[in-house]
């Protein structure tokens, strides 16, 4: 009996590769054949998942969300590069307090530019976890675009400055084939837009949200108003909009695109059971997160799927709708959340043995 272990990370506790390793160890205790394929849905951990699947990690200098130099990485195989926006432009890259009005996506553009110089012709861009709401203007600047005010001066970084935009010059822009791995469908601006929905998570006050939403509306009027309402335009503070409107990027569900890149179909061959998971199984899981995507792919192949997690807030019927036949949570073994996080690996190993016992008991 072959079991494929394909989890996402347990955020704040274990990487996807560490989760897969712990589960595999528990299954090995039950003398099962195990294959592991750590996954991601385009957010934090996307590059790590690609590297675990055999891509090569490349480290490059980039500018962080406040312009402070950082070291970021992307993953490459052949002429395809997997770029994770959070690597250079994520919240964890902020050197101090949030900078909702001035944070920039320029570092993500730096990483893409480096990949293009290295010979990559296809960029898969995961757009989760950003610290900025700049409409992707910083990313375009790094790739050669010029944004100017009415006096011809280049705009400073950040979403608030877009209110002063008078012209967008894309004559020097590097052209590259970009696919966006995205699991949100927000438009660029408005009640469901980037600033209103995600701005507060990035430190924006109500006044900041109003400023940013107005600036994004103006940015769209210059860069491509017909793209502002596209599903995903509001992803990563509007990076989705800039990528589609100016770079001609294509939007795809993050987990579907990543499973294709990681070789999920090949890894699934011969499996009798798939184990997926993430730190918290909740309503967000049902909206295109990695476990639901893995479960759908397994179901399409006629293979049952169960999930492991730190906690599970979904009912049995909700899990079933996502294609997950059962869920096993660390809190089933240890009620203290702090201990669950601190001892996640050994607890996962125990959970995996329970999965093996339950599954084979049902199979006999």
Structure confidence at residue 163 (pLDDT)? 98
Q: Give the model confidence (pLDDT) of 162-192 as tens digits.
A: 999 999 999 999 878 999 999 889 999 999 9
Distance CA 292, CA 336 (A): 26
Q: Give the model confidence (pLDDT) of 122-169 as tens digits.
A: 999 999 889 999 999 999 999 999 999 999 999 999 999 999 999 999
Q: DSSP states of 116-138 as a string? A: HHTT--EEEEE--SBS--STTHH
First to last CA, the chain: 13
Token pair of 279, please?
């730190």
Distance CA 300, CA 136 (A): 36
> 283: which DSSP letter?
G
Q: At what angle do helices 344-363 and 16-29 cross, to 10 degrees?
A: 50
Q: Give the model confidence (pLDDT) of 239-285 as tens digits.
A: 999 999 999 999 999 899 999 999 999 999 999 999 999 999 999 89
The three-point CA angle 223-229-231 to 5° equals: 115
Structure confidence at residue 96 (pLDDT)? 87
pLDDT at 359 over 90: no
Token pair of 335, please?
């009620």
Biggest CA pair distance of the chain:
77
Q: DSSP states of 309-335 as a string? A: EEEE---HHHHHHTT-SEEEEGGGT--
Structure confidence at residue 232 (pLDDT)? 95
At 361, the pLDDT band (50, 70, 90 cuts) reads low
Distance CA 187, CA 197 (A): 10
The three-point CA angle 166-171-176 to 5° equals: 115
Q: Give the model confidence (pLDDT) of 290-343 as tens digits.
A: 999 999 999 999 999 999 999 999 999 999 999 999 999 999 999 999 999 999
């Amino acid at each position: 009996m072959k079991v494929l272990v394909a989890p996402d990370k347990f955020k704040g506790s274990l990487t996807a590769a560490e989760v897969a390793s712990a589960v595999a160890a528990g299954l090995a205790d039950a003398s099962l054949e195990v294959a592991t394929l750590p996954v991601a849905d385009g957010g934090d951990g996307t590059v790590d998942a690609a590297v675990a699947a055999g891509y090569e990690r490349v480290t490059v200098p980039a500018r962080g969300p406040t312009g402070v130099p950082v070291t970021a990485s992307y993953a490459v195989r052949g002429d395809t590069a997997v770029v994770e926006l959070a690597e250079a432009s994520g919240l964890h890259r902020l050197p101090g307090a949030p900078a909702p009005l001035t944070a920039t996506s320029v570092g993500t553009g730096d990483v893409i530019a480096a990949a293009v110089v290295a010979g990559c012709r296809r960029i898969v861009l995961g757009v989760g976890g950003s610290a900025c709401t700049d409409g992707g203007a910083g990313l375009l600047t790094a790739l050669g675009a010029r944004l100017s005010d009415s006096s011809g001066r280049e705009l400073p970084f950040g979403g608030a400055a877009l209110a002063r935009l008078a012209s967008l010059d894309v004559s020097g822009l590097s052209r590259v084939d970009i696919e966006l791995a995205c699991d949100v469908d927000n438009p660029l601006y408005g009640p469901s837009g980037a600033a209103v929905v995600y701005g507060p998570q990035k430190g924006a006050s109500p006044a900041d949200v109003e400023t940013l939403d107005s600036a994004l509306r103006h940015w769209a009027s210059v860069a491509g108003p017909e793209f502002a309402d596209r599903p995903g335009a509001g992803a990563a503070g509007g990076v989705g909009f800039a990528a589609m409107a100016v770079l001609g990027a294509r939007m795809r569900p993050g987990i579907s695109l990543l499973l294709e890149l990681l070789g999920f179909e090949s890894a699934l061959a011969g499996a009798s059971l798939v184990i997926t998971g993430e730190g918290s199984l909740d309503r967000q899981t049902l909206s295109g997160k990695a476990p639901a995507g893995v479960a759908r792919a397994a179901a399409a192949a006629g293979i049952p799927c169960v999930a492991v997690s730190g906690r599970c807030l979904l009912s049995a019927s909700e899990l079933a709708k996502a294609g997950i036949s059962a869920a096993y949570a660390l809190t089933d073994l240890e009620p203290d959340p702090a201990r669950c996080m601190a001892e996640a690996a050994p607890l996962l190993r125990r959970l995996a043995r329970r999965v093996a016992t339950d599954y084979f008991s049902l199979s006999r």
